[in-house]
Amino acid sequence: MLDPKTIQDLPTPALVADRDALERNLATMAKALPAARLRPHVKAHKCTALAWRQAELGHRNFTCATVREVEGMAAAGLGDDLLLANEVLDCSRLGVLDAHVTVAVDSEATIEAAVRGGIEQCLIDVNVGLPRCGCAPGDAGRLADLARSRGLEVRGVMGYEGHLMMVEDRAAQKLSTAESMALLLQAHGDVGGELVSAGGTGTYDLNEAASEIQAGSYALMDTAYAKLGLPFELALTVVASVISVSEKWSVADCGLKALAMDHGDPEVDGARVWFCSDEHLTFAPEPALEVGDRIRVKPAHVDPTMAKHEALYLVSGDQVVDRWEIDLRGW
């Protein structure tokens, strides 16, 4: 028996996932992209307990964004095939892990860092339109040759079409994704290897070029992704207590230290959100609430919201059924 037993007993603010919605999301994705067709991205939840559920549903290969995430996944027994889909200049903590680690490289410096750190496998990271990491598509072959000459196994290419995740017109999104992936396939032709790793929750069903999709947000979702009409439910909320009520507004005890603000304000059903400050949400509920009432606040962006909390409470209805450590935080 867990203590606390119901949502009303949780110390607030509390990060909460609806277990049933989460399980439906996991099952929907596992059916659409079974086993190795999905390489779940743990940066979206930073929680090895959730990663274990993904593994139990057939996905044994994972994507990570930080060295800490790779370390934590290895320690949790999920090190079969970990892709650090990011450029890293100090791989020394990776080379010593009892896990199968592949890193992304997009330059001579990152190739040398992989070699220096004792990494054996890499993907060539290709820029496919998002102004971030990745080499020019035409440079991928040269980097693959260099990596192989330095003793690395080159497993293929990756390229994240992150600039296309939030396109609301699905036909336009599909077309743009295909154009973006044409760049990746061109690079893959020069690089070789079995992997073409790309995609995310927004394009998981549109990206026909990738051999594996790096989606992560689908498991818990947020209000930004919820607007796209994908078959995934918003499973994540922050439970807060109403601590102050005045004539025109009410105040709950969750603020911008509990909620990611980069995608804008959170949402509360039946209320207008006025603003967040460090530890407060000022909002106007309709009908009025009383001090002590609990509300469910919907974050605008799942990944950085998870990173602000120590634990995720699983609930079924009002019952708290589990508590998962968010154990992949930090760097």
Q: Check binding of 243 to a second copy (CB under 8 A).
A: yes
Q: Check binding of 12 to a second copy (CB under 8 A).
A: yes
* Shortest distance (Å) from residue 291 CB to a second copy: 4
Q: Check binding of 277 to a second copy (CB under 8 A).
A: yes
Q: For residue 83, what are the contacts with CB-CB under 8 A and spacing of at least 6? A: 39, 61, 62, 63, 64, 102, 103, 104, 123, 158, 197, 214
Of 30 and 113, which CB lies nearer to a second copy in the complex structure? 113
- Size of the residue set binding a second copy (CB under 8 A): 56
Binding part of the chain for a second copy, among 22-30, 145-153, 182-190, 275-283 by CB under 8 A, reads 275-283
Of 8 and 316, which CB lies nearer to a second copy in the complex structure? 8
Q: Check binding of 282 to a second copy (CB under 8 A).
A: yes
Q: Check binding of 207 to a second copy (CB under 8 A).
A: no
Q: Check binding of 72 to a second copy (CB under 8 A).
A: no
Residue burial 71-90, b: 16+ Cβ < 10 Å; e: rest: bbbbebebbebbbbbbbbee
* Shortest distance (Å) from residue 249 CB to a second copy: 5
Q: Check binding of 289 to a second copy (CB under 8 A).
A: no
Binding part of the chain for a second copy, among 25-33, 74-82, 187-195, 277-285 by CB under 8 A, reads 277-285
Q: Check binding of 331 to a second copy (CB under 8 A).
A: yes
Q: Check binding of 215 to a second copy (CB under 8 A).
A: no
Q: Check binding of 87 to a second copy (CB under 8 A).
A: yes
Of 30 and 222, which CB lies nearer to a second copy in the complex structure? 222
Binding part of the chain for a second copy, among 81-89, 183-191, 219-227, 317-325 by CB under 8 A, reads 81-89
Q: Check binding of 320 to a second copy (CB under 8 A).
A: no
Of 30 and 62, which CB lies nearer to a second copy in the complex structure? 62
Q: Are 312 and 306 in contact (CB under 8 A)?
A: yes
Q: Check binding of 307 to a second copy (CB under 8 A).
A: yes
The three-state (H, E, C) secondary structure of the chain, written as one string: CCCCCEHHHCCCCEEEEEHHHHHHHHHHHHHHCCHHHECCEHHHCCCHHHHHHHHHCCCCEEEECCHHHHHHHHHCCCCCEEEECCCCCCCHHHHCCCCCEEEEECCHHHHHHHHHCCCCEEEEEECCCCCCCCECHHHHHHHHHHHHHCCCEEEEEEECCHHHCCCCCHHHHHHHHHHHHHHHHHHHHHHCCCEEEECCHHHCCCCCCCCEECCCHHHCCCHHHHCCCCCCCCCEEEEEEEEEECCCCEEECCCCCCCCCCCCCCEECCEEEEEEECCEEEEEECCCCCCCCEEEEECCCHHHHHCCCCEEEEEECCEEEEEEECCCCCC
* Shortest distance (Å) from residue 149 CB to a second copy: 19
Q: Check binding of 298 to a second copy (CB under 8 A).
A: no
Q: Check binding of 127 to a second copy (CB under 8 A).
A: yes
Would you tell me which residues interact with a second copy (CB under 8 A)?
A: 11-13, 43, 65-67, 86-90, 106-107, 109-110, 127, 131-134, 136, 162, 241, 243-246, 248-249, 251, 253, 256-258, 260-262, 274, 276-280, 282, 290-292, 303-304, 307-310, 330-331
